[in-house]
Structure 1
């Protein structure tokens, strides 16, 4: 116990850490007792890291502590330890544990050790195929949190999950078929689905589109282009969009939310039906203040305004993401402003502040001077400014929105460029060295269930 308490002493911490680590499983009970003592001078997070260093040898004691955790705080701390032990084979055993909390922690432990998402090299060097097989039944777990976690983690394990998921789609059991379809789409995109499943998805979309209703898009980060009218085909022609697939609002939003996460995907957009007299094109490809996209978006807005009289592009990010907008009329840029956290300082200001901007600023601040607190208000303006400028906003859609036509998910010119490069690269490689091409970006099928 003295060694454990030495972890709180900067002068003795390093020596105590090495001694406790060398003790292995023998040190685990004392470390757990100290970690669960909320009055302890030792930072529980430091103990967690030490237990992770002990690794699978700590598994049995940590599992017992998780099973008997007396309160929520104790459960939270032990869960954090349990998930990072790297004991994949033991996690697989725990997937059938009677406690939902243990099952969910085991799934997260598998995620931590086995995920290959975003090119990550997994810590686990064993065969992941049996792990995937064991995870699949949890898609129908009686506990909703466990089922949701399994659905999230399976696609993170890579192509190894495709075979068991396809088998479920063909052979059942029935309770697993629907979530298996969602997991398949997330893991491998459209090409992972059988022809039968693709037809089933298309049929379900057509049915749901009949009574589709507008709804607001609740997103932490969103980019969109607004064009007056409902000429979806003409807008697609100007922007170079192709490969349109029918999509409901829910499905389109699901795609946009997926593509707008921390690793934005510029290959797809959701094009709404005509909503209150405007067509919206949504997705990170439309961001007018992304340094990688700003000039192309400005050119797209200008081209659209040449054809439709005016066009507008917006970005809005909550939690400090800021705002940005680019506006054009009759082929001329009227205004571009960047008040975003990412583009700030890189995107050139164009045009003078619009009366609508100044009016919104004055309304929010009560300031008569244009410059007063401008830096504080402009990062929040995009959704409201769009309405002030006569366009609709994806945040403002709802039951009263007048909807004409149908929405689609479409591919952008960037998708075509990447596909062409991939084909050229594949053709130049020896057959034995060819690798599987870029998957269709996941996201969306779950919104149809």
Structure 2
């Protein structure tokens, strides 16, 4: 009898111990669980083979929730498994990696035939001109300086495109037309880095450039030789020259720095004494353009001030930005979109105006003079760029600023 009672008490004690242990285990497990961040399946990088297997298995068991194209307009939000694929670009995370195409090109393709037979010619470089028909002969001379290694792309600000078919090369060129827009407007919208990734160098040039002393193949060879990521040809000293940095030096292949007026350069490695090219005829490497494109604002018009900010896209800028002297051009300063194509006494609205150096931390600038408006482009080494056409008070601590005054009677 005593043995039976002791056995029952022993079993009861074990049961209580088991219950207590179970409860303690559950509490311990709960605290362990909440002490670690939640792990989402959508953030787990899985091998593509496993992803495919999982995707198929998931959809086999949940066919009612799979996102088929025909379900997109049904009124209910389709559900798809979201698996993070680190190799996919933004916006394509939910696509199988094998079908994702992140980049494209501007190669012209036939309307028939095998894709492998489609491209007989793959240019390595891209040249863009923003043009009006009045400058067709000048552009024709310029295009002849570029070999078949260069793809020609014309941006037409006057809406006239078919008239260019008088030139044989126009049949192979790409034509984009939008009235009264500048090259930076076109560049932001049509020269996305993923669109022009096939080209090693991108020329973004004005239409009023004389190229008698320029050879594009030799220019590219010098750019590669001297490691220039951002460059331009040297400018003929007597034509349209604003900065000493872009002046052609007759005894050099390339130069990367210069001497400006006393006090204009706070540092010999900074613009306008180094790390500087102008915006009339810049040439960018593929890698540099990927950065510069993002820096171009949607409302950037003439591009004033962008030249001072280009240095932010290469490092070290004073070594990778330079001017090619032995392949040089002439800036003809022909008015095109300045004042909507109208000249002032035969000159472009900005011609003949030199930058003024202003020192101090506060400037009051009256942009209304004798009933004529002046456009002000403030160029600062902080790369802050803005335009004004009325009386402005500029309150800045930075003393290294340059203010351009451009006469333009048509600005309201």
**TM value normalised by structure 2:** 0.30
Give the structure with the larger strand fraction.
2
Larger Cα-atom Rg: 2
